[in-house]
Amino acid sequence: MKINGGIPLKGTVKTQGAKNAALPVMAVCLLLRGETLTLDNVPDLYDINTMIELLRALGVEVQVNDSRAVFNVPDELKWEAPESLVRKMRASSLVLGPLLANFGRVSLPLPGGCSIGSRPIDLHLKGLKQMGAEIDIQDGVVHASIKGRLRGRRIYLDFPSVGATENLMMAASLAQGETIIENIAREPEIDNLAATLRCIGVPVELEGTGGVRIQGIHRGHSGRERVIPDRIEACTYILAGVMTNGHIRVEDVVPSHIDAILAKLEEAGAKFSVRRNVIEIFPSKKKLHPVSIKTMPYPGFPTDSQPQMAAALSLSRGVSTIEESVFQARFLYAQELNRMGADIQISRDVAVMVEKLHGAGVKATDLRAGAALIIAGLAAEGETRVDDMVHVWRGYEAIDQKLRALGAQVELV
Ligand code: EPZ
């Protein structure tokens, strides 16, 4: 993507359905037999299309028109996930729990690592084992099976892993008896999953103490649910408005989903208003103040907005620090931002120094790093070229069109 920076953004942008909510709620269809799951507000993204291909490869009939997806599930499904599709996306691991619970067996190639660290699924497998599953890993393929039904029980998650929470909630839905999972992830995507399980007849109670209680059922029925707005995409546009000193409205946002970001932006002196489901960014005479950030599981500062925030803080007036506590290595973008004039030093955590950004040729190393480089290019003087846009298309629907609608000079070359 080629970007001519330095233009304050103006206008309105509407968020897409959340990628990280749509992926697990689509996998819910694997809990059904001979029934239909309908989802609204499904975004049009590479990763969503990969999940649709994977579900089709397993035997589900999927129709998508506009942002509505209908999943017709036959009485029998395949239980082997094709390697080619699984390698494209770690979220493929989300078919483990539902397939095992519904059909008693599943074979899934282990997801590979990626540029933000190794992506083990040991917590997913540990929980499934505790529910009675036989787990065998051969040549990088997980073979899971259970005679009869999984058994509901109390499970404690060593870490509030989003994927492990989602897999185990889906597995518990068809297990024998009650399952209580403690120390679950509290991301809004988990509430969206709970609502989708309820819509097919699974009694799910989320408890304020960070636990969830699920009564296993014999057979789910057809249902319909809506995907929540994408909080990470919303933050990307909010930061683009702040960094270009523009005046924009970001619509279809749930403000409580982005409390941590808004609090940090307020602390840094950004000017914005919050009304029902619209965040309005106003131009501000002053540069952002430096802030310190530590990424944490929700409701802490989200790791998925960390690269974008580093780009914004590259324009601040002093030294900010960012500590990434969720993933092992999520700073690959820093060297790319430094090519644009930022002065980011990686020690145990990241110090972001003050600089003006200038255009440069940079590479997207993962999807959120790509987003950070794009918004840095919007704010930088001169021309920026962001290569390897394939990462960005995994999570940002029509980002070039949305930015042009906000007055940005961007084109795909
Ligand atoms: C989800 O990944 C998101 N992906 C990620 O978004 C997001 O960064 C992450 O949650 C944290 O919020 C989807 O929802 C599809 P985790 P997930 O399990 O489920 C370790 C994006 O940019 N871990 O909470 O993989 C793991 O290595 C993507 O949209 C284990 O050690 O996140 C990581 O360090 C990137 N063992 C940490 O926990 C396990 O069994 C958080 O992982 C599972 C996880």
**Which residue's C-alpha comes closest to atom 26 of ligand 1?**
119
Quote the CA–CA distance of 289 and 270 in Å, as a whole number: 9
How does residue 292 score in pLDDT terms, banded at 50, 70 and 90?
Answer: very high
Span 53-71, pLDDT tens digits: 999 999 999 999 999 999 9
More confident residue, 115 or 213: 213
CA of 399 to the centre of ligand 1 (A): 24
**Ligand 1 pocket member 396 (CB < 6 A):** no
| Nearest Cα to Cα of residue 77 among 61, 93, 97, 91 | 61
Give yes or no: 114 in active site. Answer: yes
CB atoms within 10 A of CB 187: 23
Span 134-143, pLDDT tens digits: 999 998 899 9
Span 388-408, pLDDT tens digits: 999 999 999 999 999 999 999
pLDDT at 113: 58
The chain-wide mean pLDDT, for the chain, equals 94
For 289, 356, 361, 396, the CA distances from 390, given in Å and listed in that order, are 33, 28, 16, 10
**Which residue's C-alpha comes closest to atom 3 of ligand 1?**
20
Q: Average pLDDT in the 232-242 region?
A: 98
**Ligand 1 pocket member 368 (CB < 6 A):** yes
pLDDT at 57: 95
CA angle centred on 311, ends 310 and 316, rounded to 5°: 85
Quote the CA–CA distance of 384 and 342 in Å, as a whole number: 14
Q: Average pLDDT in the 40-60 region?
A: 96
350 Rama class: left (phi>0) / alpha (psi -120 to 50) / beta: beta
Q: Tell me the two tokens of residue 296.
A: 């944490």
How does residue 112 score in pLDDT terms, banded at 50, 70 and 90?
Answer: low
More confident residue, 327 or 231: 231
Quote the CA–CA distance of 114 and 394 in Å, as a whole number: 14
**Which residue's C-alpha comes closest to atom 9 of ligand 1?**
162
Q: Tell me the two tokens of residue 44.
A: 């049009």
Span 252-267, pLDDT tens digits: 999 999 999 999 999 9
Quote the CA–CA distance of 285 and 296 in Å, as a whole number: 31
CB atoms within 10 A of CB 167: 27
Q: Is the pLDDT of residue 127 over 80?
A: yes
Q: Average pLDDT in the 362-370 region?
A: 94
Span 153-210, pLDDT tens digits: 999 999 999 999 999 999 999 999 999 999 999 999 999 999 999 999 999 999 988 9
CA of 91 to the centre of ligand 1 (A): 9
For 100, 101, 170, 249, the CA distances from 174, given in Å and listed in that order, are 10, 6, 8, 43
